[in-house]
Structure 1
Amino acid sequence: MRTTATELPVEYGSSERQIVVVVGAGPAGLVTCKSLLEAATPDYPFEPIILEQEDNIGGTFRYRSYENSNLVSSKQLTSFSDFRLPLDHPDHLTLDEYNEYMRDYADHFRLWPRIHLQTKVINISRDADRGGHIVTYVRRLTPGAEWETSPRTIRATYVAICSGLHVIPSVPTIPGIEYVTKPETKRKDSAVEPAVFHSFEYKSRSQLSGRRIMILGTGETGMDLAYEAAKAGATEVVLCTRAGFLSFPKALNDFEVLGFKFESDRPVPIDTLITNLAETAYVHPWVAASHIRWFISDFVIKRVLWILTGTQAGCNQWVGELEPDRLGRAYVFLNKSHKAMPYINRLYRNRPSSLDHLSRYIDPPEDSPPQTEFAVDLAPFPTRFLPSGRAVFPSSARKDAQRMQARDVRPDTVIFATGYRQEFGFLDAAGGYATPAEADVRNIVRAGDESVAFIGFVRPGVGAIPPIAEMQAFFWITLLKGQVRTPLPPPHYHLLVKETARIKYGVDHSTYVSTLAKDIGAAPGLWELWWEYGTHVLVCYCFGAAFTVFYRLFGPFRSPLAPKIIQTEIWDTITRRGVLGNVLMGVIPMAFYLTLNFAAYAAETLWRLAGDPGASSRYTHRTM
């Protein structure tokens, strides 16, 4: 039965229990709570409790969801390591399905008594008398009711902040935006009321029907909204991008090469394609520091895309391309909401039909009703709106900008799909608390203040936050127990951004989670992997992506469920690529990167022999 606790403890015992306050009941908060419970020992008597201000669990996945929304990350990657979905379940869940998955997770691991809903943290301060932290909160009895006026407190040994990246809407200032909703800008033949709102307020297609819509932002939400607007019967859709995007489908679809059609009833999720051996595991530090793996894979992928689709900007992406110095895995978040691309491409696709006979990528089929002539206009962000309601676009050499200069765009609906910002007003200013940007130990804690962790505050270029949050929880717990391997090697997992970049918390999923696994002693060696689990698991580890379940074969969070999951579900993702796919995306890259890493090891050895005896001791321990 799903019930939550009604009373919270007010103090912690110095030896009997260590209260851990977890702020937020999204996936990061749930997996942190569960991991703490399982890691508790007499020496570390963790007692986690979750404080959640909403009336249900799920966080962003529940309260930022909308009609027809789906996860763009696969179930194989997104599911927690020891609580999996059925093998025959579709690869990509709806948000409703994922919310039910989280409720089942809380059921299975008996988390409900530790979850306190409608409990809002308003202050976290240092406990000067007893050490630890004083967490101040308020509650309400029913959804929508006023918060109680008398705050309560709880003393905690540790605090895990899992409140999420996507909570407070970010709304840029655009001069004249108020003209969009002025009565005089409304068309006389239109029955719609002009509107300006952030995407978190969008819930259903009925909000888009019959409107002239401008969407600001080409992240996955913006692309979803462009598609939904087209399907809703919007009269005009203009999708505005700051500097371009990198579009890929969430699963590889069908394609043809020299008349041979490669198709599958179960397309392979894009986030399961990156292999482990020599690209994530067994990488020499010099190779890791240079990021050469990312640059090489980008080079190859661009050429393959050109052959298959005629463009290198993205997968069958003919407009909205990024600047050349930002185009690739090392720089940006992959946009896996691909449904709107056929509508966007219609105005720009210019591949000669003769090349389509050589190779052709086949976009996923549209759902009904089809709109074969409708197009979504791509545009730069408007600089301002005139009193007439007309949008003014900046001059640029971009082809979409050139086209929009001649357009008279007067939207009656503007939607800010401009993301979210992070604020931590509940952290007492006098306490000297860090923020996620200041968490210099694996982006989780600040050195010297390990009692406060930020879980779920990095974003992968290709991947998912929930499994990253699970690995972060593992790292933090191991750190609290003093079992993390030191010294920590340099963090070579961050996406490469300029100092002026708006988002600086991007990471390469595979590199980041494997780094954490090495730090806590959970990354398996090939020999010990084969010796204990056999060839089947070894092959899965080499050819599979950096699934968290691999890091539960050894180390402090070893699970008896891991081998079976790997031999069934993970094996299925590998075999679905087919022989050709595994040769092209597995054998060839692994052979190349093994050669590259071997060369680095050889160069290091020669360097050491030539007179730098400290080189080996500085690097060798970082490579496994």
Structure 2
Amino acid sequence: MHDTPDLADRHDAVCVIGAGGSGLAALKNLREQGFSVDCYERETSVGGAWNWRHDRSPVAAGTHLVTSRPLTEFPDFPMPDDWPDYPHHSRFLAYLERYADHFGLRDSIWFGTEVVAVTPVGDGRWDVTTRGTGGGDERIQRYAAVVVATGHLWSPKPWDVDVSGYRGQVLHASACKDPAQLRGRKVLVVGGGNTGCDLAVAAAPQADTVWHSTRRGYWYAPAYVFGRPADQIAALLQRWRLPLRVRQWIYARTVRLTTGDGSRFGLPAPDHRPYESHPVVNSQLVLHVGQGRISPMPDVVRCSGTTVEFADGRRVDPDLVVLATGYLPRFDFLAPELLDADADGKPDLHLHAFARRHPTLAVVGLVQADGGLLPVAHWQSVAVARWLRLRRESPDRAAAVQQQESTRPLRSWVRQRMVPSSRHWFEVSFVSYLRALEGLLERLERA
């Protein structure tokens, strides 16, 4: 039986958990608002999911951004002008490292330290239990607030097909880092999101055979429209406040004129309208299907022996199944009720950021936007920092802002009519969500 660790009171300091892009933004903006901050990172360097050397990183060797540079960079730290529109992951990691160095963030980060428990102790304060990832004693420190920035793309979503009787190799996409793993193999890729499509495209020139199984049809958007990155055109249409139906028509028309009708090549037709599922940016998939390098397949119903059977009765014999079935959020150090999580584990947070019953608990980066994450994480963390500052300086005014925010309609920041799936739990419209954060910041300034 271990002795209870000694408690160290950090008084008005804030604890940030994670030193990926969202955690770095939280650390930087909290310090700019005058807070002392301790940031805990289980790995030995910054970058989070974008540091592919980390065990939990989902990034593969050929991964590039699927959102363009201007919509992905921090507002106060632009990427170099001579970088490509869609940088390689290695450049993006270098960008995060430069951000950390430019703002002098590393001296506030405890590397190789994981958080094992976060417990409320009354009056909005929290006991945070940590330990070294290499072992050692646990340590408890008390903080005025906690900001969680651990990301939600590191805990693989279990596949709903039993593979216990299957004799081939099964890998999750996060373990498929190098195209060399696919060379000369008969590969089945399961999953139709950006990761699944990227893996199928990466396998096409390497593997002997590639099958790509999707549960539904998707809109495969081109990376460029009229010579500009497609996400910039989409954001422009949102800023013009065009009605959703009009934007859906423009999107569908653009896909038909560029990528084309995928059903001609055997791809299933989309079972939803544009913007009702997270966009898939991959026009190369259709090319490889058209060349016969990738065979589209429906949903998998069973795996047995060396055979995989599909919903239409077809059977194939892959020797490698790669699961691009997505991820689920995990906050093992928090009791689910602190985030008002439902039975499936989905947190219920205001603006996907603020715990509804715990004003000093926030999550940064828990969004899936049709634009880059870093601008969202930046403005989220600015809002969190200013909210905590107001709560410290004037609890009554902070309570008034909280009351006003509780009346904000959900439709003002959540994308409507999404395909029911855990993939869309945190889906937001990039432009509308930033407008919602702007409204919160204006209320905080007026308070």
CA 1:131/1:219 → structure 2, altered by over 3 Å: closer, same or farther?
Answer: closer
CA distance in 2, matches of 1:38, 1:32: 10
Deviation of 1:427 after TM superposition, in Å, equals: 1.1
Letter in 2 for 1:115: I
- Of the three residues 504, 509, 521, the one matched with 2:430 is 509
Q: Which runs of 5+ in 1 are unaligned?
A: 1-8, 41-45, 141-145, 182-194, 254-266, 284-291, 347-372, 396-404, 523-554, 557-624
- Are positions 1:392 and 2:309 aligned together? yes
Summarize deviations over 1:520-572 as a string: whole Å, max 9, x none: 129xxxxxxxxxxxxxxxxxxxxxxxxxxxxxxxx96xxxxxxxxxxxxxxxx
- Are positions 1:245 and 2:218 aligned together? yes
CA contact (8 A) 1:22 1:48 kept: yes
Letter in 1 for 2:250: V
Query: What TM-score comes out, normalization by structure 2 length?
Result: 0.86
CA contact (8 A) 1:125 1:134 kept: yes
Q: CA RMSD in A?
A: 2.7
CA distance in 1, matches of 2:228, 2:266: 23
Deviation of 1:320 after TM superposition, in Å, equals: 3.1
CA contact (8 A) 1:176 1:386 kept: yes
- Of the three residues 3, 10, 13, the one matched with 1:12 is 10
Summarize deviations over 1:102-122 as a string: whole Å, max 9, x none: 110000000010111110000
CA contact (8 A) 1:230 1:374 kept: no
CA distance in 2, matches of 1:452, 1:50: 15
CA contact (8 A) 1:246 1:333 kept: no
Three-state SS of the structure 1 residue aligned to 2:316 is coil
CA distance in 2, matches of 1:302, 1:116: 48
CA contact (8 A) 2:221 2:255 kept: no
Deviation of 1:28 after TM superposition, in Å, equals: 0.4
- Are positions 1:295 and 2:241 aligned together? no
Query: Within 5 A, what are the aligned runs for 1:164-313?
Result: 164-176=151-163, 178-181=165-168, 195-232=169-206, 234-252=207-225, 267-274=227-234, 279-280=238-239, 293-307=243-257, 310-311=260-261
Letter in 2 for 1:416: L
CA distance in 1, matches of 2:235, 2:90: 30
Q: Which residue of 1 aligns with 2:394?
A: none
Three-state SS of the structure 1 residue aligned to 2:284 is coil
Q: How many residues align?
A: 419
CA contact (8 A) 2:221 2:282 kept: yes
- Are positions 1:425 and 2:332 aligned together? yes
CA distance in 1, matches of 2:433, 2:121: 33
CA contact (8 A) 2:339 2:349 kept: no
Q: Which residue of 1 aligns with 2:386?
A: 478
- Are positions 1:411 and 2:318 aligned together? yes
Query: Within 5 A, what are the aligned runs for 1:409-558?
Result: 409-428=316-335, 432-435=338-341, 437-460=346-369, 462-480=370-388, 481=390, 482=397, 487-488=404-405, 489-492=408-411, 493-497=413-417, 500-502=420-422, 503-521=424-442
Q: Which residue of 2 aligns with 1:320?
A: 268
Deviation of 1:340 after TM superposition, in Å, equals: 2.4
Summarize deviations over 1:548-603 as a string: whole Å, max 9, x none: xxxxxxx96xxxxxxxxxxxxxxxxxxxxxxxxxxxxxxxxxxxxxxxxxxxxxxx
Q: Which residue of 2 aligns with 1:137?
A: 130
CA distance in 2, matches of 1:444, 1:309: 36
Give 1 or 2: higher strand fraction: 2
Q: Which residue of 2 aligns with 1:55?
A: 44
CA distance in 1, matches of 2:309, 2:167: 12
Q: Which residue of 2 aligns with 1:589?
A: none
CA 1:203/1:500 → structure 2, altered by over 3 Å: closer, same or farther?
Answer: closer
Three-state SS of the structure 2 residue aligned to 1:384 is strand
- Are positions 1:377 and 2:295 aligned together? yes
Summarize deviations over 1:104-153 as a string: whole Å, max 9, x none: 0000000010111110000011124x75000001014xxxxx322x2101
Q: Which residue of 1 aligns with 2:121?
A: 127
Q: Which residue of 1 aligns with 2:393?
A: none
CA distance in 1, matches of 2:95, 2:108: 18
Q: Which residue of 1 aligns with 2:143?
A: 156
CA distance in 1, matches of 2:107, 2:258: 53
Q: Which runs of 5+ in 2 are unaligned?
A: 1-6, 52-56, 391-396
Q: Which has the larger radius of gyration?
A: 1
Three-state SS of the structure 2 residue aligned to 1:487 is helix
Deviation of 1:177 after TM superposition, in Å, equals: 5.3
Summarize deviations over 1:197-253 as a string: whole Å, max 9, x none: 111111111100000000111111111111111122x11101111122221122337
Letter in 2 for 1:152: R
CA 1:444/1:11 → structure 2, altered by over 3 Å: closer, same or farther?
Answer: same
**Deviating more after overlay: 267-276 vs 509-518:** 267-276
CA distance in 2, matches of 1:222, 1:476: 34
CA distance in 2, matches of 1:319, 1:241: 9
4+ residue runs of structure 1 moved beyond 6 angstroms? Answer: none
CA distance in 2, matches of 1:200, 1:451: 33
